[in-house]
Amino acid sequence: MNKDVEKILVTEDELHKIARKLGEQITKDYKGKKLLIVGVLKGSVYFLTDLTRYIDLPCNIDFMQASSYGSSTVSSGNIKITKDISEDLTGFDVLLVEDILDTGNTLKHIYDMLITRNPESVAVVTLLDKPERRIADITADYIGVDVPNEFVVGYGLDYNQYYRNLPYIGVLKKEIYEQK
């Protein structure tokens, strides 16, 4: 285990099972639809690549990126879109893929923006949910697993851009982010 990680919350094996279970469910739910999968960079990348292997449907895949200005472990309400997708979503059923739904501010901003572009629907799949911390009025349609109110890293999730490449989800030791 990485020395900066206090404990492992979701193992590699569990992550794989989550991707398969959600991918199979999405395959059933989106049959016959014009599916556009949109990953929210960068955190969702590991989850998206595993999840989509289990989505047995024709689909488009694209990415968006948003940045929020605030302290490094809490997102602020000031969201800026730094990479966008097509303006016209006519006919598409959009599935947003997130790493973690925390305050919900980021996803709510993206959701409200996409819904104005005439899609058939917009739904959300998140690997992790921290329901305790929700501020924005948004819920995910598909949730991998709920996590407690602790700062987690790995499998795409970062602290100051590090730890994304850990193959599991772990709780970051408090001393790592409290020393700054």
Task: List residues binding ligand IMP (CB under 6 A).
Answer: 43, 75, 98-107, 151-153, 157
Q: Going edge to edge, which strands form the sheet with 5-10?
A: 5-10, 169-172, 152-153
Q: Is 42 helix (H, G, I), strand (E, B) or coil?
A: coil
Contact partner at residue 50 from ligand IMP, Mg ion, none, CB < 5 to 8 Å by partner kind:
none
Q: Rounded to whole angstroms, what are the CA distances from 48 to 159, 162, 170?
A: 19, 19, 19
Contact partner at residue 126 from ligand IMP, Mg ion, none, CB < 5 to 8 Å by partner kind:
none
105 contacts 77 by C-beta, under 8 angstroms: yes
Q: Measured from the CB of residue 39, what is the shortest distance to Mg ion in angstroms?
A: 13
Active centre residues (catalytic): 102
Distance CA 66, CA 63 (A): 10
Q: Measured from the CB of residue 105, what is the shortest distance to Mg ion in angstroms?
A: 12
Q: Measured from the CB of residue 114, what is the shortest distance to Mg ion in angstroms?
A: 20
Question: In the complex, which residue's CB is closest to Mg ion?
Answer: 43
- Phi, psi (deg, nearest 5) at residue 99: -80, -45
Q: Please identify, using beta-carbon distances, which residue of 52 and 75 lies nearer to ligand IMP.
A: 75
Contact partner at residue 151 from ligand IMP, Mg ion, none, CB < 5 to 8 Å by partner kind:
ligand IMP
